Amino acid sequence: MHRLRAAATALLYAALALPLALTGMALVVTGLLAGALLSVTALGPWLLALTVRGALALGDLQRALALGLLGLRIDPPVRRDAPGAFGWRRAVLGDRAGWRAVGCSLAAPFTALPPVLAAFGGYAYGLLFVLNPIVKRWNYITVREADGSVRHVGLRFGGVEFDSWPRWLITTTAGLLLLAVTPWFIRRLLVPHRILLRTLLGPNAADQRIRTLEETRAQAVDDAAATLRRIERDLHDGTQARLVGLGMHLTMIRELLAADVDRDRIVAVVETAQGNAKAAVADLRHLVKGIHPPVLDQGLDTALATLAADSPLSVPLTADIAERPAPAIESIAYFCAAELLANAVKHSGATRAAIGITVRDGTLRLAVRDNGRGGAAVGAGSGLTGLLARVRTVDGTLTCDSPPGGPTVVTVLLPCR
């Protein structure tokens, strides 16, 4: 059913993409030619600007069509803008995204045509071959003999006429095979069109880099603010309350000593104060560990070994660290491993996990594997979205390979500096 739906959507996309591309090409060519001819007048630049703006609108429609039928998500490019009518015209004519959309409009028909030809040829001839025994009375060619007589013959190939029952099996089999492979050909022939749309209708490398930096900066600011709020909350609700209680018990001890009460009552208050002091120290240690685990001072391999030993799963560790990364990188790698192990325990139903870390040629590679049920994906509520945001703040990458049934392998790549 999934393959049938994919074949139907690819065929529908090919059928819609070509008329859209031809229409866009005709409008853009007409607008460019008219704008060039009228460029000596005041109307020419406005017509060129409208043509470029129309190409951008056509690009929006092509992106929506690709997303709806092919599942191809293309981020919109960064567009220039300026106030006022003349500012708008200047921004449109100087916008690289607009001229890339114009180029896409001019090239799209050439990449949209092959899938349509493949669909027409594959399905038309496939049905013709399959239905040849039924439509043979209409599916014939006229042959004139040497004596001038006319004869109608059926489907012929290589001088062989397929007009009898044994030979119909050949045409039917060929037709079924052609119908079966046509969706594959359509999808393959759509690849150049997809590449064209992604290259010319999406953001270029510089704009994508700027957008990524803006997103990671915002995520870093939000993460820092959330961390500060968590620290403030933990200090207020935990450590501060225990220290206030410790102060009250010390005051009580002083009053009891001044009143010369019995020793057992003083000892009980001292033990309570001592318990509050120990709990406050434990809270502070836990808080510090959440900010920067002290075990990281001994090295990332030691920290991960401690993390694996504390996990309820069986977690073997493989470490090959040729050079020590920066402290911030070590901290990100440690918290990624901790979160991934926590996910394996809470969500995957795994009984075994493994951590592998290598640091070579200025790159840290962390891989966490578990034998759980699989099906994890970035953005599916598994916590991987937060990890991806964290690693992107240092230009890192995170990939997740988690087919249904498992295993799940999450790989994190980080620069050492």
Q: What tens-digit pLDDT sequence spans the chain (417 residues)? A: 667 777 788 888 888 888 999 999 999 999 989 888 888 888 888 888 888 898 888 988 998 888 888 888 888 777 777 787 888 788 878 888 888 888 988 999 999 899 988 888 888 777 777 776 665 554 444 545 555 554 444 555 544 555 555 655 666 777 778 788 888 888 888 889 889 988 888 877 666 666 666 666 666 566 666 666 766 666 666 666 667 766 777 777 777 777 777 777 777 777 777 777 777 676 666 665 555 666 777 877 888 888 788 777 888 888 888 788 888 788 888 888 888 888 777 777 778 888 888 888 888 888 888 887 777 777 655 567 777 777 777 778 888 887 777 788 888 888 887
CB 371 within 8 A of CB 354: no
Distance CA 196, CA 189 (A): 12
**Number of helices and strands (H, E) in the chain?**
13, 9
Q: What single-letter amino acid sits at 36?
A: A
For residue 26, the model assigns a pLDDT of 92
For residue 110, the model assigns a pLDDT of 92
For residue 225, the model assigns a pLDDT of 62
For residue 171, the model assigns a pLDDT of 66
For residue 216, the model assigns a pLDDT of 62
Give 83-92 contacts, CB < 8 A, sequence gap 24+.
88/49, 89/45, 89/46, 89/49, 92/49, 92/52, 92/53
DSSP type of residue 237: I
Question: Helix, strand, or coil here: 84?
Answer: coil
For residue 158, the model assigns a pLDDT of 47
Q: How many CA atoms lie within 13 A of 116 on its CB side?
A: 17
CB 71 within 8 A of CB 114: no
In the block, tokens 């990458």 appear at 397
DSSP type of residue 151: E
Q: What single-letter amino acid sits at 280?
A: A
